[in-house]
Chains A and B, each alone.
Chain A
Amino acid sequence: NAGVTQTPKFQVLKTGQSMTLQCAQDMNHEYMSWYRQDPGMGLRLIHYSVGAGITDQGEVPNGYNVSRSTTEDFPLRLLSAAPSQTSVYFCASSYGTGESSPLHFGNGTRLTVT
């Protein structure tokens, strides 16, 4: 199993550009989520999904869109990039949201918006 795979590893965007961060998992996990990690702010939840066709907002959803058309994939779309979206983005998944379901993380995408 490859686990949780994120692409790209690094990305530089200009203000106003749009892009999609990719996340795929091969563990048949129902739950998937996106976090951003900023110095001094810790990890903050952007969006999450408890299954194909179901998504919900986290703590900081503004400026981001998600969809979940398959169990395996959970892309994160930046509609119009802003310098405030410069961050490291992590995708994470778990089998479910039960008591015994640990969260597994990808290696992250480092995004810079100029």
Chain B
Amino acid sequence: KQEVTQIPAALSVPEGENLVLNCSFTDSAIYNLQWFRQDPGKGLTSLLLIQSSQREQTSGRLNASLDKSSGRSTLYIAASQPGDSATYLCAVRSRSNTGKLIFGQGTTLQVKP
């Protein structure tokens, strides 16, 4: 059974710092991994999707990497800003059942001015 873990649960950093959010999964036979952002009281916004054959994806100040063999993905945020404050979730679509996305519990990020 696929399990997805995100550590730490919360993170507070000063503005301008580069930071890394972690996502680990137990079954390496994945189809893809997706990173989302959720603002308080809102829905989830897709940030990046990494296919199983890819090693990384980039969008602006965000870079997501994938290492299937170790069951890990990282989301790198460069030059963090207060507007980056949100909860970041990762989700995995497994090859064993592509109909199900399994989510981690998220990392809540606070960027202090």
**Chain A residues at the B interface, C-beta cutoff of 8 Å:** 31, 33, 35, 40-45, 48, 50, 56, 58-59, 90, 92, 97-108
The answer on a CB contact under 8 Å between A104 and B99 is: no
List 27 A-B residue pairs with CB atoms under 8 Å apart, sorted by A's residue number: A40-B105, A42-B105, A42-B106, A43-B91, A44-B103, A45-B102, A48-B100, A56-B99, A90-B44, A92-B44, A92-B101, A97-B31, A97-B98, A98-B31, A99-B51, A99-B53, A100-B49, A100-B51, A101-B32, A102-B34, A102-B46, A103-B34, A103-B46, A103-B101, A106-B43, A107-B42, A108-B42
| SS class, residues of chain B in contact with chain A | strand
In the complex, which of the residues A44, A58, A107 contacts B43, with contact meaning CB atoms closer than 8 Å?
Answer: A107
Beta-carbon contact of A100 and B101 below 8 Å: no
A35→B91 CA distance, assembly (Å): 13
Q: Is the CB of A50 within 8 A of B51?
A: no
Q: How far is the CA of A43 from the CA of B43 in the complex (A)?
A: 11
The answer to whether A33 and B101 have CB atoms under 8 Å apart is yes
Interface residue count on the B side (C-beta < 8 Å) = 25
Contact B32 A100 (CB under 8 A): yes
Selected contact of A99 from candidates B31, B46, B100, B103, CB within 8 Å: B31
Given A50-B99, A100-B32, the answer on whether A108 and B51 have CB atoms closer than 8 Å is no
Q: Counting CB contacts under 8 A, is B75 at the interface?
A: no
Count of A-B contacts with CB under 8 A?
61
Kindly list chain A residues whose C-beta atoms are within 8 Å of the C-beta of B105.
40-42
Q: Which residue of A lies closest to B42 (CB)?
A: A107
Using a CB–CB cutoff of 8 Å, the interface residues on chain B facing chain A are: 31-32, 34, 36, 42-46, 49, 51-53, 89, 91, 93, 98-106
